[in-house]
A and B are shown apart, each in its own frame.
Chain A
Amino acid sequence: MPIFHGTNTKKHQYKSTDAPPSEFLASHKDDRINESIEDTIAFIMKLIGSNTDLTTRRFRVFGEYEAVLFYYTNLVNHTNINVDILKALMYKPDHLSKKTIEKHQLKDILLNDTLYQSETKLESNAALLVDGIMRGGTVVAVEGIDEAFVIGTRTIESRSIDQPATEQVIRGPREGFVELLGTNISLIRYRLPSADLRIDAMEIGQRTKSKVAICYMDGITNPALVKDVNSRLSKIHIDGILDSGYLEQFIEDNHFSPFPQVQYTERPDKIVANLLEGRVAILVDGSPLALVVPTVFNQFYQTVEDYTERYLLMSAIRLARLVALMFSLIFPSLYVAIISFNPELIPTEFAVAVAGGRAGVPYPAIIEVLIIETSMEVLREATIRLPQQVGGALSIVGVLVIGQAAVAAGFASPITVVTIALTTIGSFATPAYNAALALRLLRFPLIIMAGLFGLYGIMIGLILIANHLLSLRSFGVPYLSPLVPGNFEGMKDLIIRGPLPWLKKRPHFLQTTDRTRFDEQQPQPSPSGREPELLKPLKNDDNGE
């Protein structure tokens, strides 16, 4: 009969140490456990015994060997422990029931004949054992064995796979990443069942020890790129990685640039598409957003849908998006420049009317635009943070205040409001939030430049921005590729989206090992060959009736 000890053994053997557990562990990182389970219990209790959620359970293996089992109560699956570990260890397996088990055989039998758990390993390093418990494993130490079993029993509650909230599409897959790394990898593997898909793992964060997965396609991705990613990641020194966004800020090339040099996405299909192009994806446990490197500017105005819908329509929509992008950047500054510096550019009738609309507004156009722009930003920020029910009410207030009342009060001219509205809409039309953010931010210096020097100032500002973009690199790839430094193959998928059969080559700037996406020789369904078959049968049917 097994003897039950109380599971609450908190008071037991606890000695407070001066050093926090992590430092104690660090100083004892090469310690090994011995054959005595009491020593093991003492060691573990000393380290983490003060936590109420640690469970220590003593029992007897096969009714004769003393053993103990540790786990964190809320990280594991209890049924699993009860049935597959405790029960299995307490009863001898049927085919061994007649035999007596020698002490030296015990380790081998337990591992190979008893434990039903596939994820089981033997470990003697005390620090690693503690680590195993931390990650939701169950550690079983048996008297007389100088190693302990670490059994993977982790079960974490997680939300179900959902529609990606920030990257919705009308046509295309509806799955988005969740927080768990394992689930996310499963989503990628399921779409890309290729032996070439490599997933390297790494732990980053001195305390969080977050699991980071680096995914790439062997034979496609440039090995130098993978090496570069690995070396940049391994240089990160931080206590905790709570989201992939932390990583992004460590591995980007230019920390002072407003432009994002790493793309993030929560769509597995987008990751797969990027892997196939030869990029590297970085996933972090606990973050539903995966990073893609290297990133070039054109990725920010392209969406998954560009490729799922027919090319002619999507090319037009992509153009519209580009227009929106430009709108969101320069429209208010252009307005300021024309109103304050060059009213001769607009038609006379309109100019006179604009002057009429502005008559009575006490501020110069630049101040007016800055005020309205700022209040627009405030409004937008307020709406994002609020729960949906309140947000609706707030936007009504915003519309009323900014749209109507400001004009009626002579605070702003109606054309200013139209301008700002167009700008705001324009910035919403950019699919990538972080790129839109950069342009939103850059709008303000441009407005100021326009207020100083008119059109000349805008141009100076735009040249500065363009020069910055031209000198920017993402993992060594020029940011404006393939426009600069010029690759015609790439231009087929730049401003327009060429028909898929045209896009035979992987992006040149990624310098992939395998440059072609698909082979032309492979038989493709040819419409001309199929046509007669399609047309044939109708007539016969008619006669038959």
Chain B
Amino acid sequence: MDQSRQITAMQAGAIMGSTIIGVGVLPLPLFAVRAGGSAAPLVTLIGLLVGSIGLSIIIWLGIRFPRKSIIEYSEDLIGRWPSWIGSLLIIGFFAVLTSLAAREFGEVVVTSVLKSTPVEVTVIVMLLLAAIATRNAITTFAYMHYFYFPLLLVPGLLIVALSLKNAEAINLQPIWMQHSHGVIRGVLTIAALFQGNFIMTMVIPSMIAPRKSIKAGFWGMTIGGGLYVVIVAAAVAVFGAEEIKNLLWPTLELAKATSLPANVLERLDAAFLAVWVTAVFTTLLTSYYLTIYATRQIFRLADHKMLSFFMLPFVFAMAMMPQNIVQMYDIVEQVGQIGLCITIGYPALLIMISLMRKKRGKPVADQ
């Protein structure tokens, strides 16, 4: 058995699903409603489709070069130095993404639960958690996602199911967008939440059957993105579009408005937030792993263990850059949109060159 290829299609799907479900879910209904009002679920769906385009390009490339990651095959395609620029951009972008996700969650925690804890502490705790976990091999990385993925779906779906009794279908109508301004921006913001899928460029070289990554991608996007749509729909149905515009984290507010049957827990926000640590952890794990792994490959290092702590101070410093929560969300949106160029534009460029030059990698015997 090929020891370096151990990741199954199901694990790959779980990696994507649990990467998608992260801290972005908390403000997601707000982004969607700002863009589309009561058509928020539709906006989310369009964002999902845009994200899927990016993913399919990545998977296409991955199948053409089943033994290499994007760092490696980009060298084959566009030469060493141009590819270095692309790879450095990827590393930088995912480092920023890691720091922003950690900061965003830190802010959520400090605003809603641990009010007098310094935000630095919550951020560094999350980053450390991710850094320790990135020290493992990619198989263990896959195991982690595979293990946590079902656990992420439970709180999400539970909140949705429990909030159904307060839902009103009329809040979801009309389901079509009534105005066009801001829709593109909203769609891009939501599409940016799917950027963690870029990890597939690192996962495919370790998959038992790279061709199955299509199936994995489909299921990962369907379940992860499906949860997005369901949560947005539930939030809009319960609160109505106008109320959501008043809420910073509508998903959290949804948890606050629901209680378990028989009052086992009277409100779920703190519990939900606690469970959501897992979701944030998996997302951070992916983006940080990507950063570390890409750095390792670009510098051709044998081991990435030391890197995971070496990069930590930089990521932490970046996380502390935004001055306040409003500025942070501005940066999150801008970085997300720039990131789309890197995570969709760059692979698209590569696939075009690959098609023109008719280059492909050595195939792998699928089991």
Contacts and interface: CB of A to CB of B under 8 A. Distances in A.
Q: Do A and B come from one complex?
A: yes
B170 interface: no
B140 A456 contact: no
A348 B267 CA distance: 11
A486 B10 contact: yes
A345 B266 contact: yes
Interface stretch (A192-200, A257-265, A458-466): A458-466
A111 to B, nearest CB: 52
A454 B114 contact: yes
B265 A486 contact: no
Interface in A441-461: 453-456, 458-460
Interface stretch (B23-31, B222-230, B231-239, B270-278): B270-278
Q: Is the interface of B mostly helix, strand, loop or mixed?
A: helix
A383 to B, nearest CB: 34
A480 B147 contact: yes
B111 interface: no
B132 interface: yes
Contacts of B132: 464, 467
A344 B267 contact: yes
A463 B270 contact: no
Contact of A463 (B117, B129, B139, B265): B129
Interface in B66-92: none
B266 A467 contact: no
B129 A348 contact: no
A347 B266 contact: yes
A196 B22 CA distance: 52
A199 B143 CA distance: 35
B266 A453 contact: no
A406 interface: no
Contacts of A346: 265-266
B136 interface: yes
A347 B278 contact: no
Interface string B144-164: 101110000000000000000
Interface in B101-150: 109, 113-114, 117, 122, 125, 129, 132-133, 136, 139-140, 142-144, 146-148
Contact of B113 (A342, A463, A464, A470): A342
Interface string B306-349: 00000000000000000000000000000000000000000000
Nearest to A345: B265
A384 interface: no
B19 interface: no
B263 interface: yes
B275 A459 contact: yes
Interface in A482-500: 483-486
B109 A456 contact: yes
B258 interface: no
A478 interface: yes
Contacts of A454: 113-114, 270, 274
B270 A467 contact: no
Interface of B: 6, 8, 10-11, 109, 113-114, 117, 122, 125, 129, 132-133, 136, 139-140, 142-144, 146-148, 263, 265-267, 270-271, 273-275, 277-278, 281
Ranked 9 nearest A-B pairs via Cβ? A455-B274, A459-B277, A342-B270, A459-B274, A470-B143, A471-B140, A484-B143, A484-B147, A347-B263
